[in-house]
Amino acid sequence: MRPILDQSVQQLRTWMLEHDQPAYRAAQIRQWIFARRASSWEQMTDLPRGLREQLASEFDIWSAEIAVHRTDADGTEKLLLTLADGRALNPDVVPGAPACGSRVAAPAAGGKGPLQIECVLLRDDKGHCGMCISTQVGCAMKCAFCATGLGGMTRNLSTGEILEQMLQLQRLLKAEERLSHVVCMGMGEPLANLDRLMPALAAAAAKDGLGIGVRKITISTVGLPAGIRRLAEQNCPYHLAVSLHAPNDTLRTRLMPTNRHIGIEPIMAAADEYFEKTGRRVTYEYILLAGVNDGVNEAGQLVALLRGRPSLVNLIPYNPVHGLKFRTPHPRAVARFGEILEQGGLTVAIRHRKGARINAACGQLRRNAAAS
């Protein structure tokens, strides 16, 4: 059985022709899955019964199972998805070195429990519904404050597995709700899996897909210069968010070990190139950790680093992770940090915490489930 979501439109058309079916059946299937939210082949009633039976014998619509579904009072919903054990749909994994596109064989499945990933549906008070999706099973970046890296890195997700997260979250929407944006800020490093991610995002943006505007799609990265330059060369239509989290190399290396092999300046140079070639300003994500990177000195250094660069600074008060020492700063400290940045001429946004009661921070739910 093959996941239907890993088949491109052209591949579906070819399959139809090979099975003596008109090519337009591929568009019908796509409409059923993306627009009409079908969960079985039997629901696709405008397809001949024989074709439905043949599709059911060769393709799965869903390749993952919902292991946990949690809902917060603020409207946030989080899914923990269990992937098909033993089926390495994409055996490429990214080793500890931060080189974009590195590949080694995946470890054999089994013995370590099911492969699981997380995705989140986020609602705001304006009626917008966004989603945060994962791109890898685990993460090799090992950021000190993140729950995902604690479990190590297993493999990249396939295009279909990335798309399936979006469709599973779409099924949680009320009749009057629509998906407004998507952020690749879940488990994993998106730029280390661009070959599978970009087709998934293209389907999310397509009119016959999820119809999400390209300016409403964000790719977040710890800062892999080669990957950023690749996006720039392709004139990527999506927003780029760089997870900075520190204004100097000493502190950033302490918080994000991959920085030891890269350094802030090469990241900034690649981000500058992205702006020059695409015309889209870069967002710099900055998680505020109490007593670590939220002081006046750090704020001043961040102003010096970003002054003159067309950018948005997204301040994120830390969402605590059980077992890690980091704490959420007091709201006064968050406000003071933001004020210093604004006085320095930077554009600032403060992200309000969502889903704190359901372990919505990246990697928390999977870690808790594994421990139980």
Known catalytic residue at 118: yes
Q: Tokens for 79, please give them.
A: 């899914």
User: For residue 189, which of 263, 267, 135, 152 has the smallest C-alpha distance?
Assistant: 135
Spatial distance between the Cα atoms of 65 and 267, rounded to a whole number of angstroms: 37
Distance CA 179, CA 103 (A): 33
Nearest to 84 by CA among 104, 64, 98: 64
What secondary structure, in 3-state letters, does 285-329 show? EEEECCCCCCCHHHHHHHHHHHCCCCEEEEEEECCCCCCCCCCCC
**362 annotated active-site:** yes
* Residue of 100, 129, 143, 362 with catalytic role: 362
3-state DSSP call for residue 172? coil
In this structure, are residues 306 and 342 in contact, taking their beta carbons and an 8 Å threshold?
no
State how far the alpha carbon of 108 is from the alpha carbons of 86, 88, 115, 154, 195, in Å: 7, 9, 12, 10, 22
Order the strands of the 77-82 sheet from edge to edge: 65-71, 77-82, 116-123, 129-132, 179-184, 217-221, 239-243, 282-288, 311-317, 347-350
Place of tokens 């990527």: 236
Give the H/E segment covering residue 284. Answer: strand 282-288
Surface-to-core class of residue 249, CB atoms within 10 Å of its CB (0-12 exposed, 13-18 middle, 19+ buried)? middle
Of the candidates 118, 161, 189, 298, the residue annotated as catalytic is 118
CA–CA dist 179, 315 (Å, integer):
24
CA distance 2 to 89: 9
Decide: helix, strand or coil at residue 21. Answer: coil
Tokens of 126: 């304006």
CA distances from 207 to 6, 35, 123, 223, 337 (A): 18, 10, 23, 31, 41
For the annotated catalytic residues, the residue numbers are 118, 362
